[in-house]
Amino acid sequence: MTRMSGLQNLSNELLKEILDHVDADPEQCVSIDRRAYLSVESFRPPSPPLPSRAQDIGNFRLVCQRFSESGAPYQFTRIATRFSISGFKRLEKIANRNYLAKHTRKFSYLVPLFYVEDRQNIRDILRSAPVGLRDLDPTNFEAKAQDQTTLVRTREDLRVLKMAMTAFTSLQHVQILRLQDESDRQLLDFLQEGEGDGARAIDSRWTPACFHATKTMGEALMHARSPFSRFSGPMMNCQSALAIRQSIPKTVPVLSSRLTCLELHFDDGLDLDEKMRAMSNLFHTVFSAAKNLQALHIGFPSHTPLGLGLEEVFHNVQWEKLRAFGIQSWRLSAEEIISLARRHSRTLRGLRLRDVLLKDGSMWKDVLAMLREEMELLDWVSLRRVDYAKQFDDLWRNSMEVPDDPPGGASDSDDEDNFSTRFSMSGQDDNSEAEDSDYQSNADTDNGPEANDIALSPDTPLSLPFCTCSRSSYPATADDLGDNGQYVNYQQRKMWEKWVVGRCPEHSPS
């Protein structure tokens, strides 16, 4: 009794400090003003906490009622739910406990590919599979397929999502991720590599899964009148987006009007121009309604750059609060980039032009000169893998796969880029609480998680004046940037990024 009384006398501040040593402060979600926002809070998938940490927090909460209340935010600030019957049962339990649900700020929806036909043949296929695959348990796949059928037929997923979104009164960020565990990956690889009956016997697709998940999530958010303001979809599907507009047309502008941050990456590169042109009116609806946007990123597969004009997607919309803008994998003219940047010159602090290819007749030095001379608030710019369209096409014609960085410079690859990779959750069960980690890395690098971010805060402290370096090695004008109009190498990109914001590489902090 005496020992318990001593614990009860600990101040709330000391309890919080103890919990911070066990796990990071759950209220310290990455701010929109931080460079790490995009990769950590938006596109980076939730990682399961270390079992020891989860157990420590759970044990801490078992001590007494006061400790339980102090530890609740550390377990429930970030919630990840799989599209499965057990996943929704767990979500419903949390939603039914308002004292837990009120802490949730970020919700990650983990959705697998849908088995759409002949799922009953999984057992037969595995019998004829290579030795390594025969060890896979067919009942595991059959159970997943049955879960999907049951949830869609009964609409149990929608019921629980509505309940949860209503209970999450502090919700800020919604994220839809494609889920693929190790057994799914092995089966999918086998089917894609197989021939004849084996390859056709099972059909699993992302399009119906993405459509169903996005549609039901939209309905749940509307039903709950959720306070969320950030949406991330790192593997969105064009066909599902079009179907959503047709099925719930009134929902799209209402939800868009609430957004301050929107990050979308489309993963289907086949007939990309045609699909995105069909979505042009949908983009117009979304962007015209999203008057509160502060951060926006739209991306496409690096190996399939979009050929549409920039305004066929953005429709000359001006966002008065926009502070960070990013695009990935696009064929553009210099004037298109200049026009959009100039439209937001009074607010834009971060600009990301990853994998952007300039068309014939355009030169990067013209874009860079405008950014340096007119974008007075610009703190950071990313030019990762920018190049010229002709160089990209020549590389594509001469190889089976375009490398991340063309010859002529150091590697520019994305070691931790989650845009085009499969999201694997092997080893995580539905009872674990998912969370993001706040990754720390050198900001002046093309590798590591921060190199993937839309920048909203400067690499260099605002107190540091613009460099007035007179050294001959530092370009004085855009004509001195070494832009030959044919290709761009790694060293040029890194120097250009610093030149645009007025920082000599020799004087910028590492």
Neighbours of 306 (CB within 10 A): 26
pLDDT of amino acid 323:
94
Segments of 20-126 assigned E as strands: 78-82, 106-112, 114-117
Sign of the torsion angle spanned by Cα atoms 388, 383, 304, 211: negative
Stretch 67-96: mean pLDDT: 84
Label residue 392 by pLDDT band (50, 70, 90): very high
Q: Are residues 433 and 330 in the same domain?
A: yes
Yes or no: say if 40 and 106 are a contact pair by the CB < 8 Å rule.
no
Label residue 177 by pLDDT band (50, 70, 90): very high
pLDDT of amino acid 452:
43
Q: Which residue has the tokens 């997607």?
A: 313
In a domain, 163, yes or no: no
Q: Are residues 122 and 60 in the same domain?
A: no
In a domain, 210, yes or no: no
pLDDT of amino acid 66:
60
Q: Are residues 470 and 349 in the same domain?
A: yes
Yes or no: say if 68 and 61 are a contact pair by the CB < 8 Å rule.
yes
pLDDT of amino acid 92:
97
pLDDT of amino acid 15:
60
**Mean pLDDT score of the chain:** 75
For 191-209, the pLDDT digits (tens) are: 666 544 444 445 568 888 9
In a domain, 346, yes or no: yes
Vertex 304 angle, CA 299 and 306, to 5°: 60
Yes or no: say if 405 and 385 are a contact pair by the CB < 8 Å rule.
yes
More confident residue, 98 or 188: 98
For 277-286, the pLDDT digits (tens) are: 999 999 999 9
Indicate whether 425 pLDDT > 60: no
Q: How many domains does the chain have?
A: 3
Indicate whether 72 pLDDT > 70: no
pLDDT of amino acid 37:
54
Indicate whether 109 pLDDT > 70: yes
109, 98, 97, 101: which is closest to 219 by C-alpha? 109
Indicate whether 22 pLDDT > 70: no
Mean pLDDT highest for which of 129-138, 344-353, 409-418, 444-453? 344-353
More confident residue, 243 or 427: 243
Label residue 420 by pLDDT band (50, 70, 90): very low
Neighbours of 71 (CB within 10 A): 25
Least confident of 227-236, 242-251, 418-427: 418-427
Stretch 419-436: mean pLDDT: 32
Vertex 313 angle, CA 309 and 317, to 5°: 110
Q: Are residues 481 and 497 in the same domain?
A: yes
Q: Are residues 409 and 382 in the same domain?
A: yes
Please enumerate in sequence order all residues whose Cβ is within 8 A of that of 93, keeping only pairs 6 or more positions apart, or say none.
none
pLDDT of amino acid 166:
97
In a domain, 413, yes or no: yes
Label residue 139 by pLDDT band (50, 70, 90): confident
Q: Are residues 439 and 310 in the same domain?
A: yes
Stretch 425-443: mean pLDDT: 33
For residues 501 and 39, give the distance between their C-alpha atoms in angstroms, rounded to a whole number.
22
Yes or no: say if 348 and 322 are a contact pair by the CB < 8 Å rule.
yes
In a domain, 213, yes or no: no
**Which residue range(s) make up the domain with 131?**
77-158+169-204
For 250-279, the pLDDT digits (tens) are: 788 999 999 999 999 998 778 899 999 999
pLDDT of amino acid 436:
28
In a domain, 105, yes or no: yes
Stretch 328-349: mean pLDDT: 97
Least confident of 55-69, 102-116, 278-292: 55-69
Indicate whether 299 pLDDT > 90: yes
pLDDT of amino acid 132:
61
Indicate whether 377 pLDDT > 60: yes
- Please provide the DSSP assignment of 248-301 as one string: STTHHHHHHTT-SEEEEEE---TTHHHHHHHTHHHHHHHHHH-TT-SEEEEE--
pLDDT of amino acid 364:
98
386, 398, 288, 280: which is closest to 332 by C-alpha? 386
DSSP class of residue 504 equals -
pLDDT of amino acid 186:
74
pLDDT of amino acid 134:
58
Indicate whether 51 pLDDT > 60: no
In a domain, 215, yes or no: no
Q: Which residue has the tokens 């057990």?
A: 86
Q: Are residues 451 and 339 in the same domain?
A: yes
Using CA atoms of 348, 349, 352, 356 in order, give the dihedral in degrees to the nearest 10. 50
More confident residue, 415 or 472: 472
Q: Are residues 241 and 297 in the same domain?
A: yes
Q: Are residues 110 and 249 in the same domain?
A: no
Q: Are residues 4 and 146 in the same domain?
A: no
Q: How many residues appear in the chain?
A: 510
Indicate whether 345 pLDDT > 70: yes
233, 229, 397: which is closest to 300 by C-alpha? 233
pTM for this model (two decimals): 0.77
Neighbours of 349 (CB within 10 A): 20
Q: Are residues 93 and 70 in the same domain?
A: no
Q: Are residues 251 and 235 in the same domain?
A: yes
Stretch 58-87: mean pLDDT: 73
Label residue 361 by pLDDT band (50, 70, 90): very high
Stretch 58-64: mean pLDDT: 60
Helix (H) or strand (E) holding 273: helix 272-278
Stretch 9-27: mean pLDDT: 57
pLDDT of amino acid 334:
98
Q: Hey, what are 154's tokens? A: 């009964």
For residues 496 and 482, give the distance between their C-alpha atoms in angstroms, rounded to a whole number.
10
In a domain, 272, yes or no: yes
Stretch 411-424: mean pLDDT: 31
Neighbours of 21 (CB within 10 A): 8
Please enumerate in sequence order all residues whose Cβ is within 8 A of that of 118, keeping only pairs 6 or more positions apart, or say none.
201, 202, 203
pLDDT of amino acid 137:
72
